[in-house]
Structure 1
Amino acid sequence: MAPPHVSITADGYWGRITSTIDWCEENYAVTNYIAEFWNTISNIVMIIPPVMLAILALKQKLEARLVLCNVSLLMVGVGSWCFHMTLLYSMQLLDELPMIWGTSFLVYSFMEITSPPSYQNRWLQITLAIYCIIVTAVYLFVKDPIFHEFAYGVLVICLVIVSFRVIRRCEHNLTLVMSGILTYFIGFILWNIDNNFCPQIRKVRRELGSLGPVSQLHAWWHLLAGIGTYLAILSCIHTRYLYLKRNPKIKMFGGIWPYISFPILQNRYDNGYSTNEPKKIY
């Protein structure tokens, strides 16, 4: 549910707050140019990693829908950054509506894990598009955050169900799949604690002094939800290309950040594979 509290502070650089939600972080507490500082900068995890993975996906000639999953996560990160920086209603829409559309891309990609390389499931595409259009239209009219959260929750539940179906039917990396689900779930718990216990959290924050930022639970939600979604996209790519027999490998950038590599393509000259460039799959 949406947080019941409202921060009462003087207007900052962005003027009067027009969003329908004001989170538990004190407004303009760090700088006059960012309404919610920690809630804003925590979105970096939804901006840089998906850009890098999208670029890598394009270079590796992966399916367009998998590239779009990363682009949609990027859009959510940028929208959320703008929303928490300004607390303006227009920026709130830039945050919340991409969450609906982006999750639908991921649901579609998981549901089509075992489809032929060039196959397009038009009925599923149309169904998800209609759902997103209806949610967008209704939300623009009713402007109720509870409706958005319910509509988004339906897609997340569908994604979890489809993910477990994939686990049962396809070769996969269980650690990668479960890490994404668990990370996202922990973030969801922190989000709800932040919504429902804001007065107590703010009291603890004041007592922590300089360590107060660790109590910014909505910022932790951004970090964990961003990482969880990134891992979900990564597991979708990995499982899809296991099915297509392209020998995907999970590697770590800098020893800490996972990405997908295709050794067959990278080492085709050294290992006797065909020198013909692979055709792009849509």
Structure 2
Amino acid sequence: MAPPYGTDTASGYWGTVTSTIDWCEENYVVTEYIAEFWNTISNVVMIIPPVFLAVLALRQKLEMRLLMCNISLLMVGVGSWCFHMTLLYSMQLLDELPMIWGTSFLVYSFAEISSPPGHQNRRLQIFLFIYCVVVTAVYLLIKNPVFHEFAYGLLVVSLVVFAMKVIRKCEHNLILVISGMSIYLFGFLLWNIDNNFCPRIRSVRWNLGTLGPISQLHAWWHLLAGIGTYLAIIFCIHTRYLYLKKDPSIKFLVGFCPYIDIPKMKNHYKKRSQDNGYLPQPNCKKL
């Protein structure tokens, strides 16, 4: 039986690596059809849960921006799967560019948690759109991963700022936001360790033998970032509908996957047009 790890194979089914980044996982070791096996399959957490949540959002007729947050996470998961499976530059873009656009949807959703139903913040929409277009154009031109990481980091910082405002001013579930942020940040720490100490990690991986997969820190980053982002979306939906006084509740699919259940609208919501444009009284200050 072949050892679980060995020297990188120059190319496999997908040909020579053309991406500008090659991660710490050895290439084409597990199978010739997947360049980075563990970095690929770990994206399942960014594919299956958001599909479930997107279907639920459609059934419950949630606001479009909240649906788009789930679709964006799904696109990142699919793009990352394709990138790590092939290590082709075109697939790298399919992974990295949705990270920029998708995080913008989440930033906008957090910023609009306390807005009236149907409200459109045109200034913020235009700003985020221009930001994404500029980042996309510059990144396609210079092909520098550090630039992408910086641009993505700015969006994450903006998201944290809006989240802090929500925590201070709105009724919310603290466990959701703390667990989401903590899981994401821990994943980010593992990602940086993987980037900066790859030779040592590979040495440890070899010595672990069949337990080597537990040292795939970039795969752990996928799992933890996916879970953290999913919880951020859940937090955003829950807080938004608390603000709208629609009595959202947190439930769990198969005992561990949280989702938001929103009861059917009461009669006074169904008859808003007959009640002089009724709007729920806010339970948080305007952000």
With normalisation by structure 2, the TM-score equals 0.90
Q: Distance in 2 between matches of 1:49 and 1:246?
A: 23
What residue in structure 1 maps to residue 276 of structure 2? Answer: none
Alignment of 1:84-233 (within 5 A): 84-233=84-233
- Which residue is 1:4 aligned to? none
Q: How far 1:9 moved relative to its partner?
A: 2.4
Structure 1 residue 194: Cα displacement = 0.2
Separation of aligned partners in 1, 2:154 and 2:88: 26
- Tell me if 1:274 matches 2:245: no
Q: Distance in 2 between matches of 1:219 and 1:146?
A: 20
* SS state at 1:25 partner: coil
Task: Quote the residue 1:3 is aligned against.
Answer: none
Do structure 1's residue 261 and structure 2's residue 261 form an aligned pair? Answer: yes
Residue 103 of structure 2 aligns with an amino acid whose one-letter code is: T
Separation in structure 2 between the aligned mates of residue 181 and residue 161 of structure 1, nearest angstrom: 12
Off by >3 Å, runs of 4+ in structure 1 = 273-279
The offset of 1:255, in angstroms, is 1.1
- Counterpart secondary structure, 1:22: coil
Q: Output the CA distance in 1 between the equivalents of 2:269 and 2:155.
A: 40
Partner of 1:32: 32
What one-letter code is carried by the residue in structure 1 that aligns with 2:190? L
In 1, Cα distance between the equivalents of 2:268 and 2:172? 28
The aligned counterpart of 2:275 is none
Match of 1:61 in 2: 61
Segments of structure 1 that go 5 or more residues without pairing to the other structure are 1-6
Q: Deviations over 1:50-106 (max 9, x none)?
A: 000010011001000000000000000000000000000000000000000000000
Which whole-Å CA distance do the structure 1 matches of 2:38 and 2:225 have between them? 15
Please state how far the C-alpha of 1:275 moved relative to its aligned partner: 10
Matches of 2:269 and 2:162 in 1, distance apart? 35
Question: How many pairs are equivalent?
Answer: 266
The structural deviation recorded for 1:254 is 1.1
Question: 3-state DSSP class of the match of 1:251?
Answer: strand
Q: Which amino acid aligns with 1:274?
A: N
1:236–1:203: structure 2 CA closer, same or farther, 3 Å change rule? same
Give 3-state SS (helix, strand or coil) of 1:158's partner.
helix
Q: Which amino acid aligns with 1:74?
A: L
TM-score, scaled relative to structure 1: 0.92
Cα distance change of structure 1 residues 179 and 13 upon mapping to structure 2, 3 Å threshold: same
Give, in whole Å, the separation in 1 of the partners of 2:68 and 2:193: 32
SS across alignment from 1:204: helix
Task: Supply the distance in 2 between the matched residues of 1:148 and 1:89 (Cα, whole angstroms).
Answer: 14
Give 1:11's aligned residue.
11
- Matched letter for residue 241 of structure 2: Y
Percent identity among equivalent residues? 73
Q: What is the CA–CA distance in structure 2 between the aligned matches of 1:276 and 1:211, rounded to whole Å? A: 55
The reply to whether residue 246 of structure 1 matches residue 239 of structure 2 is: no
Root-mean-square deviation (CA), in Å? 1.5
Structure 2: tracts of 5 or more residues without a match: 1-6, 273-287
The whole-number CA distance in structure 1 between the counterparts of 2:209 and 2:8 is: 20
Q: How far, CA to CA, are the matches of 1:154 and 1:10 in structure 2?
A: 35
3-state SS of 2:31 partner: coil
